């Protein structure tokens, strides 16, 4: 029996061992922010870290590269070490650099090595478009037709990708597999360990897009033997809009020359020799291309300090509890209005957000914003709601569902066209 009282939500908040982290974030009065799976909120420590780095530029000028609390020259590597526990990596296997798509280009240009008839890349048809664009362009650069050489595993239901179908696509002509850890619409969490084992047993390199999982779900990339991974840091990791991204390369591949070479991928001791012979770092740092975007990387210093204190395991525990509570309330309160839960319900198969489907999703999202609830719309019919462990409360989950019920009871959404805004 579902307890739908506000008092129960208040009791859950009293039991929440991560509740005090909410005070670390800037939360606007009268707003329930349920969009942290798209852009995380600013924390006070991220702000302070940015101000410290900005001050080092003001006080030190070019000497900031080697002086101050956070010398810029080593910042990407140091933040990689801080990020490593979140993905189950060795410190030298992670580097904070580039953007999601540029990192994917870097990794594919390195690990996609077509030989003979082994030329195809496997992805899925529910993946985020930017990944597909990058894979298509990499194939074209190699002289291959994406229509023939990019295999996109089809969905059976429009929501999920079946792991059996992915494994079936691992044929002898496949050179590379690139998949999301979590599907961005439905929140399905793929079995990363199993898919990695199946791919490598067939001699296929496999990499993962962790944008919708890193910071919400613990991973064991090193232990599982994942060849490479890449992710943004501005969602669950709260690094700010357009913040610098990250990538992981398993130590088994250290010493491999990156497909896209740049001077910041050099061995740090030799970088300023200015030699025209590239001497790549013997770590994931080799996959850097250009000078780090210092001011866009700085907030991550403070953000990762919070995750170090909270631990990704406790974050996942609360996230699972909050999404389960939200789904229970939806089942009890919203089923008569035509809402359908589109994400997997099992703990081991879902990410950090709830996928709520409704034919009027676009206009419902607009109405929620009028009530101070910030959701996320994804075409054609998905409302994504993410109760983020570090700053959302169980009372906010309860209030969100009550507001949704009011919106539907009074048909408030009907005043809006059922179409997305420029940015959805």
Residues annotated within a binding site for pyridoxal 5'-phosphate: 100-101, 128-131, 209, 212, 234, 263, 291
Q: How far is CA 90 from CA 105, 185, 284, 348, in A?
A: 23, 30, 10, 24
* Residues 100, 130: Cα–Cα separation, whole Å: 9
Contact 358, 188 (CB under 8 A): no
The 3-state secondary structure of 171-223 reads: CCCEEEEEEECECCCCCEECCHHHHHHHHHCCCCEEEEECCCCCCCCCCCHHH
What is the residue whose two structure tokens read 């497909």? Answer: 259
* Residues 253, 90: Cα–Cα separation, whole Å: 13
Encoding tokens for residue 29? Answer: 């009065």
- For CA atoms 135, 226, 342, 388, the dihedral sign is negative
Q: Binding-site residues, please?
A: 100-101, 128-131, 209, 212, 234, 263, 291
Contact 246, 80 (CB under 8 A): yes
What's the full length of the chain, in residues?
424
């Amino acid at each position: 029996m579902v307890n739908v009282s506000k008092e129960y939500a208040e009791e859950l908040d009293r039991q929440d061992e991560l509740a005090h982290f909410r005070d670390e974030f800037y939360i606007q009065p009268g707003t329930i922010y349920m969009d942290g799976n798209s852009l995380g909120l600013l924390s006070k420590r991220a702000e302070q870290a940015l101000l410290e780095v900005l001050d080092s530029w003001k006080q030190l000028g070019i000497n900031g590269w080697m002086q101050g609390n956070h010398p810029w020259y080593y910042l990407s590597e140091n933040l990689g070490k801080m990020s490593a526990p979140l993905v189950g990596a060795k410190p030298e296997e992670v580097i904070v650099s580039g953007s999601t798509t540029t990192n994917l280009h870097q990794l594919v240009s390195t690990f996609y090595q077509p030989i003979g008839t082994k030329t195809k890349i496997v992805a899925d048809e529910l993946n985020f478009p930017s990944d597909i664009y990058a894979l298509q362009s990499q194939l074209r650069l190699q002289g291959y037709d994406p229509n023939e050489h990019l295999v996109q595993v089809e969905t059976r239901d429009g929501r999920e990708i079946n792991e059996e179908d992915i494994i079936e696509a691992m044929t002898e002509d496949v050179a590379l597999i690139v998949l999301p850890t979590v599907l961005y619409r439905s929140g399905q969490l793929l079995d990363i360990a199993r898919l990695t084992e199946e791919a490598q047993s067939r001699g296929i390199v496999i990499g993962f897009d962790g944008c919708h999982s890193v910071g919400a779900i613990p991973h064991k990339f090193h232990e599982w033997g994942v060849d490479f991974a890449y992710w943004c840091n501005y969602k669950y990791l709260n690094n700010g809009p357009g913040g610098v991204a990250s990538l992981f390369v398993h130590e088994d591949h250290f010493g491999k020359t990156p497909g896209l070479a740049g001077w910041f991928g050099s061995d740090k001791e030799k970088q300023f020799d200015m030699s025209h012979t590239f001497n790549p770092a013997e770590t994931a740092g080799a996959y850097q291309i250009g000078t780090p975007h210092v001011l866009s990387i700085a907030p991550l210093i403070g953000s990762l300090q919070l995750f170090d204190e909270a631990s990704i395991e406790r974050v996942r525990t609360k996230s699972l509890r909050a999404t389960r509570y939200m789904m229970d309330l939806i089942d009890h309160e919203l089923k008569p209005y035509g809402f359908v839960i589109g994400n997997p319900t099992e703990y081991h198969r879902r990410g950090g957000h709830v996928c709520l489907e409704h034919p009027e999703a676009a206009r419902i999202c607009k109405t929620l914003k009028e009530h101070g609830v910030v959701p996320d719309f994804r075409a054609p019919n998905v409302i994504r709601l993410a109760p983020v462990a570090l700053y959302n409360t169980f009372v906010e989950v309860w209030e969100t569902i009550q507001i949704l019920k009011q919106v539907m009871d009074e048909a408030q959404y009907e005043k809006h066209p059922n179409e997305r805004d420029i940015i959805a």
